[in-house]
């Protein structure tokens, strides 16, 4: 088994794989990240059968937390397998903060949290803003502290899907990209290493100042959302709200009471950026 | 005779008003209920006491400017209170004390 350790924000992972190329790719993409000695979780890619290590290699995703019926992936999609395995550990195991399935960016010491379904554009928006004067904090999970309500960064390598790949190659042509994985269960996927300041400041949280629910592909519109609807949406966007019990309730309650929330519909990144700047200036 | 109602364990409930909806977190079940008016007000009126719907109606009408939009099919305010109380019973939040 080949292995490496990675640190993403407050969480650390031991990644193991029977295929060296997967670990090489991880080490390349996470080269500028701190390397922890101790880790919170283990994720491994194993051959589904001994001979499937060599013949039509097929990777089963294993780890401390596992989905028993998770479909194996071809070796070409090994990075996606690691990403899925790491996400699963966080979603099922993390208790130190309230997890929101959301992207986040920071400016002036305050954070903007964007939550939405897959395809809403939250990842791409955070990646774009991270190259336009904001500090990228994460494209997948926003971690909300129980004690002070701050959003903590989780700046893993950004997972770009389909059209977003082209968008980011134009936006950040000099950024480091991982291998293009074609025709995965989620479409075409390519990873991009976050900007250097995102990694350097990955221990610095920021007080949430604005919550957004982006909707890509619709006519431009901004709609304010009441706290009760925000609460309902964020309970659905949190993987550990129920498990955290009263602590999670109090953390989420404070977030929805303290932070204004809006839904924005937009057709492209420039349009969304204008709306975000407009809302940000009104805070 | 009308039935009485009692909140099962009021000390284990956290009521948080938000806007037109309120949150009701039940420590015992770990479930958050999102409730609309007049459900939160009924819980506050009941407190730790045992009450009939008519008593709750009396308290709420004293505290709030209760307005009913009446037509032939509409329920009375007391009927609405009883419906909410029965929902609390179904959710395990309240108990009904049946009068014989």
Among the partner residues B27, B30, B34, nearest to A228 by beta-carbon distance: B34
Among the partner residues A227, A246, A256, nearest to B25 by beta-carbon distance: A246
| Pick among B21, B29, B31, B39 to test the A interface (most A CBs inside 10 A) | B21
Let me know: does A75 contact A59? Beta carbons within 8 Å: yes
Q: How confident is the model at residue B70 (pLDDT cuts 50, 70, 90)?
A: low
pLDDT, one tens digit per residue, over A228-276 is 999 999 999 999 999 999 999 999 999 999 999 999 999 999 999 999 9
Q: End-to-end alpha-carbon separation of chain B, Å? A: 7
* Contact call for B14 and A256, based on CB within 8 A: no
Predicted pLDDT of residue B66? 83
CA distance A201 to A9: 9
CA distance B56 to B83: 13
Residue B71 pLDDT greater than 70, yes or no: no
CA distance A129 to A181: 24
Nearest by Cα to A33 from A19, A12, A63: A12
Let me know: does A254 contact A234? Beta carbons within 8 Å: no
Residue B73 pLDDT greater than 70, yes or no: no
pLDDT, one tens digit per residue, over A20-31 is 999 999 999 999
Nearest-by-CA chain A residue for B23: A228
pLDDT, one tens digit per residue, over A71-119 is 788 888 889 999 999 999 999 999 999 999 999 999 999 999 999 988 8
Statement: A97-281 belongs to CATH 3.30.1760: no
pLDDT, one tens digit per residue, over B47-66 is 999 999 999 999 999 998 88
List phi, psi (to 5°) of A203: -100, 0
In chain B, where the domains are located = 4-10+37-97
Average pLDDT of span A12-24 = 95
Among the partner residues B21, B22, B25, nearest to A249 by beta-carbon distance: B25
């Amino acid at each position: 088994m080949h292995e490496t350790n990675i640190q993403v924000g407050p969480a650390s992972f031991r990644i193991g794989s029977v295929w060296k190329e997967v670990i090489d790719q991880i080490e390349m993409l996470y080269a500028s990240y701190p390397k922890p000695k101790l880790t919170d979780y283990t994720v491994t890619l194993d051959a589904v059968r001994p001979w499937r290590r060599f013949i039509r290699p097929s990777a089963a995703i294993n780890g401390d937390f596992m989905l028993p019926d998770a479909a194996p992936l071809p070796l070409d999609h090994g990075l996606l397998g690691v990403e899925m395995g790491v996400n699963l550990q966080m979603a099922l195991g993390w208790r130190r903060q309230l997890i929101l399935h959301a992207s986040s960016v920071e400016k002036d010491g305050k954070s903007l949290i964007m939550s939405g379904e897959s395809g809403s554009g939250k990842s791409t928006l955070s990646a774009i803003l991270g190259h336009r004067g904001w500090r990228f904090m994460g494209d997948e999970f926003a971690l909300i502290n129980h004690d002070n309500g701050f959003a903590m960064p989780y700046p893993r390598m950004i997972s770009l899907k389909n059209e977003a790949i082209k968008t980011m190659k134009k936006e950040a042509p000099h950024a480091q990209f991982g291998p293009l994985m074609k025709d995965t269960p989620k479409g075409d996927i390519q990873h991009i290493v976050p900007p250097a300041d995102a990694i350097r400041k990955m221990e610095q949280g920021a007080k949430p100042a604005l919550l957004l629910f982006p909707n890509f592909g619709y006519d431009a519109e901004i709609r304010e959302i009441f706290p009760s609807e925000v609460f309902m949406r964020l309970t659905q966007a949190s993987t550990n709200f129920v498990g955290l019990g009263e602590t999670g309730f109090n953390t989420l309650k404070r977030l929805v009471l303290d932070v204004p929330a809006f839904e924005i519909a937009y057709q492209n990144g420039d349009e969304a950026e204008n709306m975000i700047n407009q809302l940000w200036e009104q805070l | 005779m009308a039935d009485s109602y009692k909140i099962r364990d009021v000390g284990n409930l956290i009521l948080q008003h938000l806007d037109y909806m309120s949150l009701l977190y039940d420590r015992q079940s770990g479930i958050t209920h999102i409730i609309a008016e007049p459900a939160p007000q009924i819980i506050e009126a009941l407190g730790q006491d045992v009450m009939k719907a008519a008593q709750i109606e009396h308290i709420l009408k004293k505290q709030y400017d209760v307005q009913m939009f009446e037509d032939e099919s509409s329920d009375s305010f007391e009927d609405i209170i009883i419906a909410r109380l029965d929902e609390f019973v179904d959710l395990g939040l309240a108990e009904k004390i049946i009068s014989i």
